[in-house]
Structure 1
Amino acid sequence: MVASSQALLRHFGFCRWGPTPWVQLAGSLKLRTGNPVSWTTVRLVTTVTLEPAGRCRWDEPVRITVRGLAPGQPVTLRASLRDEKGALFRAHARYCADAAGLLDLERAPALGGSFTGLEPMGLFWAMEPEKPLLRLVKRDVQTPFAVELEVLDNHEPRVGRLLGRVVHERDFLAPGVRREPVRAGRVRATLFLPPEPGPFPGIVDILGAGGGLLEYRASLLAGKGFAVMALAYYNYEDLPKGLENLHLEYFEEAVNYLLNHPQVKGPGVGLLGISKGGELCLSMASFLKGISAAVIINGSVAYVGGNLHYKGSGPFPGIIDIFGIGGGLLEYRASLLAGHGFATLALAYYDFDDLPKKFDMIHLEYFEEALCYMLQHSQIKGTRIGLLGISLGADICLSMASFLKNISATVSINGSGFSGHRVIHYKDSNIPPLGHDLRRVKVAFSGLLDIVDVRNDIIGGCENPCMIPIEKAQGPILFIVGQDDHNWRSELYAQIASERLQAHGKEKPQIISYPGTGHYIEPPYFPMCPASLHKLLDKPVMWGGEPRAHSKAQVDAWKEILTFFTKHLGPSPKL
């Protein structure tokens, strides 16, 4: 007796169709049909099924199942996509079907390939660029990423024929989310609004040092019920081309725009920043009003890579700081004093720029000019200035105190008190840069640069003058930290920030540290970027991280971010 093909298929489970049978390719299997021994060839149908069916958001998981395989059949699954510039990203994994010929990635572990173990979304987060040093970035959120999923017979590298294929679209705009370009005053941004009715909790989203305007994170957050502004701050349209000088007034203008928008629910907004954007969010939370909460992802607590200006500080008591016989311009002491609330002029007096190369005589007219500059400065409080000098600089200070007016106090460190024969800049109300030492760059075996230790030591700990005064922040701060961040020591910076807050009587902030996680913590299922070209160094550097741990951190961090904003900004009508 020979059973029908359809009956045999039903018996062995080969005719069970999922909710969306996207692609079906025929295979074959010989089944024994009775005595005496005889065989009949049955054409199997391989079906790749995705749940949820159809297009879904990038930050949502998808369940992948393959039906119609032979019991225990070895197969290789491949995933690939191309970004808007045509760069190819791909991953693969080896699997075996179960006894019923079913492969369910939520139950079947990967046996090798780009990852191993039970990883239902591994084919997405494990994708790597075909060309090295590329990072997957979504530049146009109005179009989806098209991920091609393929099922091939046997295990790589000995794969056989193609059994099934499906193209899975993952988008960044939830149905009804509105995208509004913002060109208001100086602000260059894009505002994403959830479906009406509002108003909604507001968030300003700032990315790192790459520049331009990236919207993918803001658009995903808008799908969760937040009104989110993706804010550009340099290298975009008519904004500055570099990071040398940034002004908080620009970011203040963006915050005010969001607060005044009829679809934004006050009284404050949240901030979300990564890397350089995290630094800027800390500065905004410290100096600006209307900030309810801030999330910092792998941000530095010291301002690096340029100067940050803000009009809202001062005036301060003034000091002129003068060093000894070495010449040039030394600022470290003046920067420390600035951290204690003094407007301090570190003054060069020879062997610097167009000043004399050698110092032979004291010309007090030069120092008097510096003194007058200080007294006339809008950020200087009072009509008198203090002097601080060491060695020859101390003697110069004593001479100034003796002959010039408007000197209220002088500190002499190891000065002689005699008229010597050799002889020492003020910055506006700025946060001085921490600085770096390129001699600390290490070269990995791969040839990539490791810059994790390139920053200068944080002298003074949490009271370092280069540190952003986060104790002025009006709302809570969440620090998200990758413990394997190779851009800088984010975990250390977060701990120092915590110490500073507590030293100033503030509550201990929430710090979430993720082992094995690198610098670029993205929304869920973005593949880890292990290395790429550094925008400022113009050289390839490593960012750190282990793919599996990094991927799990991104999923958890995204949940923590949503929970945090909901708690401190209030729930959205859509949640």
Structure 2
Amino acid sequence: MSTIFPPKDPWSCFVRNIPFPYFESTLWARSYRDTILGFAYIAHDGDNFILVFSHRLRKRNVETPYSVQLSLLEGHIPVLPSEGSNKEQQQRGEQELAAVTVERWYMAPGVRRIEIRQNGVVGTLFLPPGPGPFPAMVDLWGMGGGLIEYRSALFASRGFASLSLAYIGHKDIPGPLNTINVGDAYFQPRCVIGVNGPIGSINKLSDSDGKTESFEGDQKHWSYDEQGYVSFREVSTPNNIPPENKAKVENLCCPLLYIVGEDDLSCAAIENADEIEKKLKDAGRSHLFTRLSYLGAGHLIEPPYTPNARASMWTTRPKKLITLWGGHLAPHAAAQEDAWKRTLEFMERHLRG
């Protein structure tokens, strides 16, 4: 098995900008061994080629790698190969000049994965190799729900014990699927990292049991583009969030790193960052706030080198709904690289230092 660009850190590298002299060739890629996620193509950007996927990549089984076969083909292919295309179309310009298989692993050797289903807590704990003790963190994703593990697996591969915690949209969480089952009383953190997150919710954040009212989203704040894709951005605009539903960030007693994608079409990230910064400044705690802001980056600032999806399927029930995330290829990829590096530095300083 080989890679095109041997990374210094194989646990944080997938497919990034590939330096090639520009010539008229097309590169196909297909992902398998987990879920077939679609085909990709290369867009020319200055001196680089950029791998573009047609679907959002989300690794489900972190104990196996993504395995992507890359083929460099002479000429251009006018149509995607498919069962419906004829042999002449599939063979047109398909002389293979080079091929390589790229793997991305999410768990370093020795990382332990432990499923947690206890006292209403649903999650997966990842422990680094060795006896410990380890600096520890809780990894919470957004409102897409379920249990997402790949970021926690990467953190554990970097020496941090990481609990990926499900809090909405998981079958093992007590109560209805569309209610949030986590409260702020769970945590007394040494530091906090937020990625394009709002300061609160249109819905009530939590009651004394740590559960919200039914989370359906207020559709009067949804907006649609000319293709019918939905943006949830206005739902999270601070002016649309009731004051009683906002987090009391002015009471924060630990450092906060807030990461902003300036082309976020799913959350009003810039406006939320401004409000958080103002509240901390008014409380005399501005020294706790660090903002990383990335021009051209969208909502899905993930570990590098995850291909960005500017839009993807949100739900199919009761009808198909495609949501906008935002982000442009090159600046979003650069943002993911820099944000990941700065995130790890922040954690090293405040959790291990």
TM-score by length of 2: 0.83
Look up the equivalent residue of 2:63 and give its one-letter code. Q
Query: 1:195/1:225 Cα in 2 relative to 1: closer, same or farther (>3 Å)?
Result: same
Query: 1:302/1:177 Cα in 2 relative to 1: closer, same or farther (>3 Å)?
Result: same
Aligned match of 2:331? 549
Aligned match of 1:561? 343
- Mapped pair 1:166 → 2:116: no
Look up the equivalent residue of 1:86 and give its one-letter code. I
Once the 2 structures are TM-superposed, how far is the Cα of residue 194 of structure 1 from its aligned partner? Answer: 1.2
Look up the equivalent residue of 1:172 and give its one-letter code. Y
Aligned match of 1:87? 37
Once the 2 structures are TM-superposed, how far is the Cα of residue 229 of structure 1 from its aligned partner? Answer: 0.8
Q: After superposition, where does 1:341-352 map in structure 2 within 5 Å?
A: none
CA distance in 1: counterparts of 2:279 and 2:144, whole angstroms: 29
Secondary structure of the residue aligned to 2:98 is strand
Aligned match of 2:48? 119
Once the 2 structures are TM-superposed, how far is the Cα of residue 532 of structure 1 from its aligned partner? Answer: 2.3
- Percent pairwise identity: 33
CA distance in 2: counterparts of 1:61 and 1:479, whole angstroms: 25
- Mapped pair 1:152 → 2:73: yes
Question: Which structure has more RCO (C-alpha within 8 Å, separation ≥ 6)?
Answer: 2
Count of aligned pairs between the two proteins: 335
Aligned match of 1:448? 229
Aligned match of 1:244? 179
Aligned match of 1:132? none
Alignment check: 8 A CA contact 1:52 1:62 kept: no
Residue among 197, 215, 234 paired with 1:299: 197
CA distance in 2: counterparts of 1:195 and 1:83, whole angstroms: 25
Query: 1:311/1:167 Cα in 2 relative to 1: closer, same or farther (>3 Å)?
Result: closer
CA distance in 1: counterparts of 2:225 and 2:17, whole angstroms: 38
Q: Deviations over 1:64-120 (max 9, x none)?
A: 789xxxx9975433332147333314122xxxxxxxxxxxxxxxxxxxxx2422337
Query: 1:221/1:526 Cα in 2 relative to 1: closer, same or farther (>3 Å)?
Result: same
- Mapped pair 1:529 → 2:309: yes
CA distance in 2: counterparts of 1:515 and 1:142, whole angstroms: 34
CA distance in 2: counterparts of 1:241 and 1:435, whole angstroms: 12
Aligned match of 2:86? none
Aligned match of 2:4? 50
Which stretches in structure 1 are left out of the alignment for 5+ residues?
1-19, 23-48, 93-113, 130-134, 249-283, 313-429
Alignment check: 8 A CA contact 1:441 1:453 kept: yes
Once the 2 structures are TM-superposed, how far is the Cα of residue 469 of structure 1 from its aligned partner? Answer: 0.4
Secondary structure of the residue aligned to 1:561 is helix
Once the 2 structures are TM-superposed, how far is the Cα of residue 52 of structure 1 from its aligned partner? Answer: 2.6
Q: When you count strand as a share of all residues, which structure comes out higher?
A: 1
Once the 2 structures are TM-superposed, how far is the Cα of residue 524 of structure 1 from its aligned partner? Answer: 0.3
Secondary structure of the residue aligned to 1:569 is helix
Once the 2 structures are TM-superposed, how far is the Cα of residue 434 of structure 1 from its aligned partner? Answer: 12
Secondary structure of the residue aligned to 2:336 is helix
CA distance in 1: counterparts of 2:267 and 2:324, whole angstroms: 11
Q: Higher Cα Rg: structure 1 or 2?
A: 1
CA distance in 2: counterparts of 1:245 and 1:155, whole angstroms: 48
CA distance in 2: counterparts of 1:72 and 1:554, whole angstroms: 25
Query: 1:64/1:119 Cα in 2 relative to 1: closer, same or farther (>3 Å)?
Result: closer
Once the 2 structures are TM-superposed, how far is the Cα of residue 172 of structure 1 from its aligned partner? Answer: 0.7
Aligned match of 1:78? 28
Bigger shift: residues 205-214 or 450-459: 450-459
